[in-house]
Amino acid sequence: MFSYETVKKVLFLFDPEKAHHIAECGLKVVGKCKILRNYYEKKNYIINQKLNQELFGVKFENPVGLAAGFDKNATMVNSMKSMGFGFTEIGTMTPMPQDGNPKPRMFRYPEYKSVQNAMGFNNLGAHAVLKNLKKVYPFPLPLGVNIGKNKYTPEAYALSDYKTLIKKFESYGDYIVINISSPNTPNLRDLQNEKFINELFSMAKELTSKPILLKIAPDMETQTAIELCKTAVNAGAAGIIATNTTIDYSLIPNCKDFGGLSGAVLSEKSSLLFKEIAKELYGKTILISVGGISTGKQAYERIKNGASLVQVYSSLVFEGPSMVRKINEEILELLKKDDYENITEAIGANLR
């Protein structure tokens, strides 16, 4: 089999969005071919009881998941275990199909191991995504569904979009994520306020018993972020995912002045905000950390700071699918070093 370094050289000849489509085609092939699926699963998927935990009433065999944004339309779910993931998250999808923002809208910064995207919730729409999802759910891995409002839905009617999506997907995922933190839909982040969050989770509780999580942006003042997360949990949120991409363009010299930055440059910003949120909410809700994670050491630090799970996305572009296996192997080494029998003993260790 080709090494990822060889594959990466070819992929990087194409613009990032085209390269993503090529990768999608490859993963679709893996997902449909049992021989390839089994080969890569044996190669990448770590089986070790020390990594097992139960959350939301579902077994997670390892704590490393794929963040939303990679598999927007639920077309690559079947290949996720072959990539080593312990869970996956599809979306973000909207009620109606959406083309997203004008191209080019994705940019690589290899020297910073980072990506900038201004995609704008491009997806096939709830009906088509649900059709794809029904082909694979229930899935051997826990599966999250990430939902957002359509670009042209006025803020006053945003609640209706989320209501539509919760009702549509609540039977076809293990948890649902409310995305009001993407920087690529105009005014979406304005919904990160206590009034809307209270209304949203009050409504969600009446619609479903499925766990509903809130994903937040990394660019708020720390205390504001903490208060919003506390509001969400008090209103019924089953967990917090921190964080989405950042609009702090000072992190990369001469980057674009639109879209969100992710990858290595987001690591410190995301980690610091997550740590502060966890100080307030660890033990009161499920916490998932995402943003600039590419090594087991980084993942383990987030876990010790209160994360039950971690997610990756942009780092895959630079490190390849073997990265997930390496992260899990390193977590196991660190658990052994700290004399923990199970990952649950490490979660929140820095806060106890």
Asked whether the beta carbons of 178 and 212 are under 8 A apart, the reply is yes
How many whole angstroms separate alpha carbon 145 and alpha carbon 212?
9
Choose, from 182, 271, 308, 315, the residue flagged as catalytic: 182
Q: What are phi and psi of 182, to 5 degrees?
A: -70, 140
| Burial class of 92 by CB neighbour count within 10 A (0 to 12, 13 to 18, 19+) | buried
How many whole angstroms separate alpha carbon 220 and alpha carbon 192?
10
Which residue, among 92, 116, 257, 250, has the nearest Cα to 185 in the 3D structure?
92
How many whole angstroms separate alpha carbon 227 and alpha carbon 277?
9
- Told to judge if 182 belongs to the known catalytic residues of this protein, a careful annotator would answer yes
How many whole angstroms separate alpha carbon 231 and alpha carbon 201?
10
Rg of the chain, C-alpha, whole Å = 19
Count other Cβ atoms within 10 Å, centred on residue 349: 14
Active-site residues, by number, are: 182
